Amino acid sequence: MDNNLQPAALPAEELRRLYRLVTAVRQLDLAAIAWQRQGIIPGYAPELGQEAAQVGSAFAMDPKHDFVFPTYREMGVALTMGVDMTAYMSTHKASWHGGLYDPVQTRLAPIQAVVGGSVLHAVGWAHGQTLAGNPGVALTYFGDGASSQGDVHEAMNFAGVLKAPVIFFVQNNGWAISLPTEAQVAGGTVAARAAGYGMKEITVDGNDAAAVVLATREAAAHARAGHGPVLIEAMTYRRGPHSTSDDPGRYRTLAEERRDEGADPVRLLADRLVAEGIADSAFLDAALQDANANADRVREGVMALGPRPGSEMFDFVFAEPTEALKAQARAWREESEHV
């Protein structure tokens, strides 16, 4: 065993589950980029390099009581939470903005395209748990770019004042499309801001899945005990483009990527498992095969998604639709379907 590696304070079985999850996320992520190139989906926001941050944090939550608020780049969170991945990836198929999964049943809020848009919702939901006497904790994701948004600051201040059980989980991946963290975050870290809002902060190596699990569990216990919100800054790296429409070559070089990207989260966990004798190459191979098979299944599911019925444009605007909207729906139907 390599004595330089700190043994992870997680049971072997959890480490093996984590590895299967980060591998599944990695392979599905790579597959989705290929689908976009093949014309199966119009676009995708890769998370290459952020698998440990996403899997580790979602892994730490209690799916019965807690609720998770994603951005548009939390595929790894959804997969870890057991969300149907065809329904999740449907957002990238342009089937439905929020995804076709049920957010109430899965406890994963709809996919959020407004940067920083859902962070306040987590505070409201969390304060609702306090009011109702429920033990739930809200976990809200955002990035170093979103940390500049006023809503994120308002959310942290509200949560601090109300002692709301919220975990603000920042994936600092170094880049907000083309803008590096040093041009985005005054003071250098998002975590430093926690002090100003009177909340606990944890800075964690976002490439180390086990460390992220431990940090998030610590944060969840803190929030659940009524001690208020926690800010976790997971330091990681966006190894890929911002989206499949992006061209990182315009703002960073390959040499800079290699210099800055740090440890590959999937490789790091594999090395630890092998070094600690928790897994062997057969286990790693099986995990990879399962991950590829899963990606293939999701690919088939996504390809089988037909176009959405046009009537859905009208169906969910209101819980109680107005007569004017019903009239528009009738007119659309008559003029487009000739019925």
Can you read off the two tokens belonging to residue 222? 């803190």
By the 8 A CB rule, do 68 and 58 touch? Answer: yes
Catalytic: which of 26, 73, 193, 238?
A: 238
Question: What are the φ/ψ torsions at residue 142 (nearest 5 degrees)?
Answer: -160, 175
- DSSP letter string, 178-217: TEEGGGT-TTS-STTHHHHTT-EEEEEETT-HHHHHHHHH
What does the alpha-carbon distance between residue 46 and residue 28 come to, in Å, rounded to a whole number?
A: 10
Minimum distance of another protein from residue 70's CB (angstroms): 12
- Catalytic residue among 73, 239, 242, 272, which? 242
Distance CA(316)–CA(218), nearest Å, equals 39
The least CB distance from residue 319 to another protein, in Å, is 4
Rounded CA-CA distance 88/77 in Å is 11
Q: Which is nearer to another protein, 122 or 291 (CB)?
A: 122
Residue type, 1: M
251 is catalytic: yes
Catalytic residue check, 224: no
CB of 126 to another protein, least distance (A): 7
Measured in whole angstroms, how far is the alpha carbon of residue 74 from the centre of its chain? Answer: 2
Phi first, then psi, for residue 280 (nearest 5°) are -120, 180
Q: Which is nearer to another protein, 102 or 296 (CB)?
A: 102
Contact, 298 vs 86, CB < 8 A?
Answer: yes
Would you say 35 or 125 has its CB closer to another protein? 125
CB 280, CB 17: distance < 8 Å: no
Cβ distance to another protein smaller for residue 35 or 197 = 197
Shortest distance, position 209 Cβ to another protein, whole Å? 28
The CB-of-157 to another protein minimum distance in angstroms stands at 6
Cβ proximity to another protein, 164 vs 287, nearer residue: 164
**Where do contacts with another protein occur on this chain (CB under 8 A)?**
67, 96-98, 100, 102-105, 109-111, 114, 117-129, 131-132, 138, 150-151, 154-155, 157-158, 161, 315-320, 322-325
Exactly one of 251, 252, 308, 333 is catalytic; name it: 251
DSSP string, 36-60: HHHTSSS-----TT-HHHHHHHHHT
User: How far apart, in whole angstroms, are the C-alpha atoms of residue 127 and residue 134?
Assistant: 10
Active-site annotation, residues: 238, 242, 251
